[in-house]
Amino acid sequence: MKKATATLMMVLAITVTSIAQQVVKKEDKVKKTTTIPQKVHNIFSKHKKYSGTKTKHIVKVEKTKS
């Protein structure tokens, strides 16, 4: 029983320290993608079909050196 408890505590400690060392960077890249005919369509249409942007969500996870 003591070995199981000690092993469980060791695994828990390793997990907590590894989570604490991660650095998460979140950024959004936005790119304009509409063409001239799409922009004209948006001006004269009631149903706006083209938003004109492409959004890419980037999440970078880096481990810090200890």
Start-end of H helices in 1-66: 2-20, 36-44
Q: Which residues pair with 26 in a beta bridge?
A: 59
- State if pTM tops 0.75: no
Confidence at 64, pLDDT banded by 50, 70, 90: low
Residue 66 or residue 52, greater confidence: 52
Query: Greatest CA separation found in the chain?
Result: 75
Given a cut of 80, is residue 20 above it in pLDDT? no
Kindly report, residue by residue over 23-63, the tens digit of the pLDDT: 667 888 888 888 888 888 878 777 777 677 888 888 877 76
CA distance 18 to 65: 11
Given a cut of 80, is residue 16 above it in pLDDT? no
Are 33 and 56 a contacting pair, CB within 8 Å?
A: no
